[in-house]
């Protein structure tokens, strides 16, 4: 009886495991099928380096360079904001803050991670966007910069939580050893703690970036949705994700435009895959030590 129950549970777990693999493979398969069909008709190079995204004009032009640049600009901007703030917050929580403050901060960060991105986008639209417009004296606040700020908000909890883990798992003997040699607290943090935690911190950054690149709703609301090549971070941009979300509903199933959106998805997938893979490399390195 006991034994057969074991067997049933084992089979169930096996089926669930296989199912998730099957789903992933199916999604990939679909993405690749539609994407490659599009590449065959339009050409990969023309797609990636094309400067104009006019999917519904005659003749249509499917150049996603402006979309890629839009995504990159917003993501890089978000990282420039989120990485220093995230790492410093993690350091503050794990090394400097007294216990009471630390607990409050940690729960706040966790709370921040739980805010739905649509809410962040919405709040950003009514606060950050007008602020950016006024401070920099722009014709519109709906810019890559405003998007970067809001995305940074979303990446910070990831970066803080994982970096803080990495920093806290640095053996205390390292710190003690350095302090006993006469190093100051700050020297110890910079040269020993940060250095030993670096693989974990880099993984945290990568996962933060991963979240930022894949984000859709908030950027769609805030970045201005203009599919042209941006001249600066204060230009409106449109990201790859926003393009897919905005246009999927208007396409003819199986048509060129429809397939082009799958091709964008494929490009996006390759980018996030590279980012996650890099993060795994660093996390793996940490574990093997």
Q: Where are the beta strands (DSSP E) in the chain?
A: 53-54, 61-62
Of 80, 184, 277, 284, which one interacts with another protein (CB under 8 A)? Answer: 184
Q: Judged by CB under 8 A, which stretch of 39-47, 61-69, 136-144, 190-198 contacts another protein?
A: 190-198
Is the C-alpha dihedral spanning 59, 55, 64, 136 positive or negative? positive
Say whether residue 202 binds another protein (CB under 8 A). Answer: no
Q: Does 178 contact another protein by CB under 8 A?
A: yes
Q: Which of 59, 100, 182, 249 binds another protein (CB under 8 A)?
A: 182
CB of 173 to another protein, least distance (A): 4
For 5, other C-beta atoms within 10 Å of its C-beta total 9
Query: How far is residue 97's CA from residue 48's CA, in Å, rounded to a whole number?
Result: 47
191 binds another protein (CB under 8 A): yes
**97 forms part of the interface with another protein (CB under 8 A):** no
With respect to another protein, which residue has the nearer C-beta, 20 or 184? 184
Q: Which is nearer to another protein, 166 or 213 (CB)?
A: 166
Closest CA to 196 of 234, 168, 224, 176: 168
The reply to whether 125 sits near another protein by the rule CB under 8 A is: no
Q: How many CA atoms, within 13 angstroms, populate the side-chain half-sphere of residue 204?
A: 26
| CA dihedral (49, 50, 55, 58) positive or negative | negative
Phi, psi of 61 (to 5 degrees): -125, 125
Spatial distance between the Cα atoms of 261 and 42, rounded to a whole number of angstroms = 13
Closest to another protein by CB, 48 vs 183, is 183
**Distance in Å, CB of 289 to another protein, minimum:** 8
Residue 101 as a binder of another protein (CB under 8 A): the answer is: no
Torsion sign (Cα): 205, 207, 208, 210: positive
Name the DSSP class of 248: G
| Residue from 1, 126, 181, 252 binding another protein (CB under 8 A) | 181
DSSP type of residue 53: E
Kindly write out the interface string for residues 29-68 of this chain, putting x where it contacts another protein by CB under 8 A and - elsewhere: ----------------------------------------
CB of 70 to another protein, least distance (A): 41
Based on the shown chain and the rule CB under 8 A, indicate whether residue 285 belongs to the binding site for another protein: no
What residue spans of 169-254 are helical by DSSP H? 172-180, 185-188, 194-214, 217-222, 240-247
Q: Which of 137, 173, 232, 288 binds another protein (CB under 8 A)?
A: 173
- State yes or no: residue 93 binds another protein (CB under 8 A): no
Residue whose C-alpha is closest to residue 209's, from 257, 274, 127, 117: 274
Residues near another protein (CB under 8 A) are 171, 173-174, 176-184, 187, 191-192, 195-196
């Amino acid at each position: 009886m006991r034994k057969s129950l074991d067997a049933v549970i084992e089979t169930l777990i096996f089926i669930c495991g296989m199912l998730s693999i099957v789903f992933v493979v199916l999604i990939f398969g679909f993405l690749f099928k539609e994407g490659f069909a599009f590449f065959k008709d339009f050409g990969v190079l023309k797609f990636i380096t094309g400067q104009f995204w006019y999917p519904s004009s005659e003749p249509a032009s499917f150049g996603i360079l402006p979309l890629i640049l839009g995504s990159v600009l917003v993501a890089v901007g978000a990282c420039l904001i989120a990485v220093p703030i995230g790492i410093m917050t993690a350091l503050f929580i794990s090394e400097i803050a007294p216990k009471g403050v630390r607990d409050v901060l940690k729960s706040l960060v966790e709370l921040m991670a739980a805010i739905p991105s649509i809410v962040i986008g919405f709040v950003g639209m009514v606060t950050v966007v007008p602020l950016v417009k006024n401070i920099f004296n722009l014709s519109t606040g709906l810019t890559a910069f405003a998007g970067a700020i809001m995305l940074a908000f979303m990446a910070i909890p990831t970066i803080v939580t994982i970096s803080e883990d990495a920093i806290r798992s640095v053996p205390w003997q390292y710190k003690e050893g350095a302090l006993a040699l006469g190093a100051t607290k700050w020297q110890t943090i910079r040269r020993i703690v940060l250095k030993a935690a670096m693989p974990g911190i880099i993984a945290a950054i990568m996962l933060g970036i991963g979240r930022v690149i894949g984000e859709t709703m908030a950027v769609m609301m805030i970045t201005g949705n203009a599919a042209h090549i941006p001249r600066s971070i204060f230009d409106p941009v449109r990201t790859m994700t926003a393009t897919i979300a905005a246009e999927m509903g208007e396409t003819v199933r199986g048509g060129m435009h429809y397939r082009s959106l799958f091709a964008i998805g494929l490009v996006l997938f390759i980018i996030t895959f590279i980012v996650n893979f890099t993060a795994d490399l660093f996390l793996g390195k940490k574990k093997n030590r």
